[in-house]
Amino acid sequence: MSGTALVLAVAALGLSGWALWRTFPGSAADVQYPQAQRDQARQNACAAVDLVRTGVSLNTGEPGPVAPDDVAGSLAAAANARLSLFDGGQYLLARLDPATPTELSDAVHRLADALMDIAAAATAGAQNSDPDQAARLRDADAADAEVRRLCG
């Protein structure tokens, strides 16, 4: 290997390391954006979570059909609950601004992922009593608690 090739290889390695260091979470939103923009992004993320939390609560807490033998009503209520969970997760991801403080953005991502995981599993037939589904519900509760703490 010639000296020039060695110098170029070392320079490329150094540049790669620097690029990798710059892409680590925790630095982008906290450094690139003015404080006012970060504050607005935080407010917007917290408002989106509040909206989704209300929608999920309303649609997953529906009592269902009055008649116990109303299969269509039961299926409609279950479908509505699943839609509110999945759409809520998608809405949260779509509303996250890159200027959202990293810690809050990460927590909102965890909550959105948990909501969509619950919805997908429920669509596949998982019941809340299923151990895996119960774990997903606990994950969503933990993520929601973290978002509440960060939103104050």
Would you give the distance in Å from CA 63 to the centre of its chain?
A: 27
Residue 103 and residue 54 in one domain:
yes
**What per-residue confidence (pLDDT) applies to 135?**
96
pTM for the model: 0.76
Q: 41 and 26, same structural domain?
A: no
User: Are residue 72 and residue 50 in the same domain, yes or no?
Assistant: yes
Report the distance separating Cα 147 and Cα 34, nearest Å: 22
The answer on 22 and 43 residing in a single domain is: no
User: What pLDDT, on a 0 to 100 scale, did the predictor assign at position 64?
Assistant: 65
Q: How confident is the model at residue 12 (pLDDT cuts 50, 70, 90)?
A: low
Q: Which of 84, 94, 102, 101 is nearest to 140 (CA)?
A: 84
Pair 91, 108 in one domain: yes
What angle, 0 to 180 degrees and rounded to 10, lies between the N-to-C axes of helices 35-60 and 71-95?
180
Per-residue pLDDT tens over the stretch 118-143:
999 999 999 989 999 999 999 999 99
Instruction: State pLDDT tens for residues 79-127.
Output: 888 999 999 999 999 999 999 999 999 999 999 999 999 999 999 999 9
Whose tokens are 């994950």? That residue is 139
Q: In terms of residue numbers, what domain contains 8? A: 1-32
8 A C-beta contact, residue 95 and residue 48: yes
Q: How far is CA 150 from the centre of its chain?
A: 14
Give residue 40's Cα distance to chain centre: 19
In this structure, are 52 and 117 located in the same domain? Answer: yes
Q: Are 59 and 71 in the same domain?
A: yes
Average pLDDT for residues 13-31, to the nearest whole number?
A: 55
Please check the confidence at residue 15 and state whether its pLDDT lies above 60: no
Q: Quick one: 10 and 76 in the same domain?
A: no
